[in-house]
Amino acid sequence: MKTLKIIVFFGALCATIVACKTNTNSIITEVKTESKASRPNIIWLMAEDISTDLECYGMPDVKTPHLNKMAQEGVRFDNAFVTNSICSPSRSAMMVGTHQVKTNTHHHRSNRNIPLDSQFKPFTALLRDAGYTTILGNHAVMNKGRKIDVNFKNEPIGEWDGKSKFGLFDKYDTFEKADEPFFAQIQLLVTHRGDWWDEVRNQSEHPVNPETVKMPPYMADHPAVRLDWAKYLDQIEYMDNEVGMIFKELEDKNMADNTIVIFIGDNGRCNIRGKGYLQDPGLRIPLIVYYPSQFKGGEIRKDVVSATDITASIIDFAGVDVPDYMTGKPIFSKDFKREYVYGARDLWDEIEEKSRAVISEDWAYIRNDMPEVPYDAGQAYLEFYRPAVHIMRALNKEGKLNENQKPFFEPTKPIEELYHLKEDPHQLNNLASQPEYIEVLEKLREQTKRFDMQMSPVSTIYEPIITKGPEIMEWLKKERPEDYARMLAGEEIGYKRITDLYKKKKDNQK
C-alpha cells in the first residue's frame, strides 16, 4: 500500500489500568549495574484506537503480516488493558506509569497548564537520567507520529525538572547509531478516525470486502455499518505496513538485534462499545513485545496486564529501578502477578461521566456512578466519527435492533454490570442482578472500592478545555442540512472539512 502524505493533527499515546504498589514521595531512581553500551534500544509503537483486531489475534478479514511476524518472534499478551478508554487519560497514565486518577490527569484534555505533582516524573525523564536518548515520532509514518496528548503541563522537546522545564523528549523522528541507547515513542495515527480513511481504502491494493466481514453481535448487520468496519480494517492493514517500515529501518541501520519493539493500542476501537466505554472493546488492547536476544518467540501469555505495567517494563529494560510511585510493575520479572486491572472513565469533551471497572482474566465488573448519562449521549465527537451510531439509532427507533444491540441505546445505564468473560466474551449478558452471582459481584464491588481509595487523586484541580464540538454540530444542522442528512445516513462527512467551513463562516462574520 502506498504511503499517504496527509497532514493531520492527531497522533497517539494512551492506555493503562491498575495499581500494585504503595505510592511514596520518592522520585529517586538508580541505574542498575550495567554498561551503557550493553543496554537495549527500545521502541514503543502505539496504534491509535484499535482493539485486538489483528490477524495474529484471530481477527478474520484483515491481513497483518508484519505484526504476525512480530508475534511469532516475540511474546503476545491476550489480557492487556488500558486504564482509560479515552486517549489523553490513558496516555497520561502511561507517561508516568501511574494510574491517571491518582495523578489527577483523568479528565480528557484537562489541566494542560498544571504541572505534574512533584512526587511524579515522566518515565522519559527517568530514561534520560539513565543515559538514554529519547525520541518522539518517526519520519516515515503518517503525520510523523508525534502525538503526546497528556493532561499535565508539558513541552514535546526539551529538559524536564517539573517546575520551569517541561520537555518530555530530546529530539524528533530519527534514530541513529549515535543515539544509542535510545528510546523512541512512535504513534501510528492512521487507525484513528480521520478524513484520510477513504483515501487509504481507495489506494489499497486489496480493500477489505464489506460483504464478507464478520462483525460483533452487538453491531447491526447493515451495509453502511459493514462498510465502516471494512474501512477500519483497511487502516489496520496500512498501519501494519508502517510497522514493517520501522523494522526495515532497524535492519538497514544494523540495530534490529539490540532493539526491543513494543506494540500496543492506545485505547480500544472507535466504534460501538469501544473508545470511551469500559466494556471490553474500549479497554482491551493488543500487546506484543519483540526482544530477539531474550525471547525464544511464539509465546502467548494470559497474564492480566495493565498499560502502566508496560511503562514499568520499559524502565526495567533500561536497567532502571522502578520508582515506588508507579502503579505498574515489570511484566517480565519473575514475581510479576496481577489479578486485576482498574479502569476509569471520566470527562470526555462535553460529556461529564464517572464509571469505574475492575477486570480479571475471568470477570469484568463495571460501576456506573452516573447511570442517568446514557451510552448514546449525543457527544459531538461521536456524531462525526461513528456511522454505526446513526444507523443503529435509526434502526432502534424503528424497532429493528435485536436484544444484543438495543442496550447501547437505552435512556440510562445500569448501575452495575457483571460479565463472565470466558463464557460471554462479547459481554452480552449482564449478570449483576442474578442471585447466583452475588458472591462474585460483592467481591468485585469491594475490590473496586479499594482501588477507589488507593487511587484517590493527589489534588482536586479541574481545568478542562472547553470543546466547540456541540456548537459546530448545531451549526451543521442549521447551515448544512444536506451534509447533516449524509451523516445520518451513515457517511463520515469529514470533521476537519466541516470545522474549517465553520471557522471560515465565523471569520467572515467578524
Q: How far apart are CA 234 and CA 240, in angstroms?
A: 10
Give kind and range of the element (H or E) at residue 287. Answer: strand 284-290
What's phi and psi for 362, nearest 5 deg? -105, -30
Check residue 292 and give its pLDDT: 87
Contact 303, 294 (CB under 8 A): no
Which residues is 188 bridged to in the sheet? 47
Q: How far apart are CA 189 and CA 145, in angstroms?
A: 6
Average pLDDT over residues 497-509: 92
User: pLDDT over 70 for what percent of the chain?
Assistant: 93
Check residue 25 and give its pLDDT: 35
Whether residue 321 is predicted with pLDDT greater than 50 in this model: the reply is yes
pLDDT, tens digit, for every residue of 378-424? Answer: 999 999 999 999 999 999 999 999 999 999 999 999 999 999 999 99
Q: How far apart are CA 100 and CA 93, in angstroms?
A: 5
The grid coordinates listed for 12 are 497517539
Check residue 18 and give its pLDDT: 36
Whether residue 27 is predicted with pLDDT greater than 80 in this model: the reply is no
Average pLDDT over residues 479-495: 96
In the structure, what pLDDT confidence band is assigned to residue 7 with cuts at 50, 70 and 90?
A: very low
Look at 161-170, 293-302, 356-365, 441-450 and tell me which has the smallest mean pLDDT. 293-302
Check residue 69 and give its pLDDT: 97
Average pLDDT over residues 202-229: 97
Check residue 460 and give its pLDDT: 95
Amino acid at 232: Y
In the structure, what pLDDT confidence band is assigned to residue 510 with cuts at 50, 70 and 90?
A: confident
Check residue 509 and give its pLDDT: 83
Average pLDDT over residues 3-28: 36
pTM of the prediction? 0.92
Give the CA distances from residue 448 to residues 82, 104, 428, 443, in Å, rounded to whole numbers and listed in that order.
16, 18, 22, 9
C-beta neighbour count of 467 within 10 angstroms: 17
Domains of the chain: 40-198+245-383+412-467 (3.40.720.10), 470-510 (no CATH)
Check residue 293 and give its pLDDT: 86
Q: How far apart are CA 452 and CA 430, in angstroms?
A: 23
In the structure, what pLDDT confidence band is assigned to residue 296 with cuts at 50, 70 and 90?
A: confident
In the structure, what pLDDT confidence band is assigned to residue 4 with cuts at 50, 70 and 90?
A: very low
What is the average pLDDT value for the chain, to the nearest integer? 93
Look at 15-19, 68-72, 322-326 and tell me which has the smallest mean pLDDT. 15-19
Q: Which of 455, 439, 81, 12 is nearest to 279 (CA)?
A: 81
Check residue 35 and give its pLDDT: 55
Q: Which of 418, 347, 356 is nearest to 377 (CA)?
A: 347
User: pLDDT over 90 for what percent of the chain?
Assistant: 90
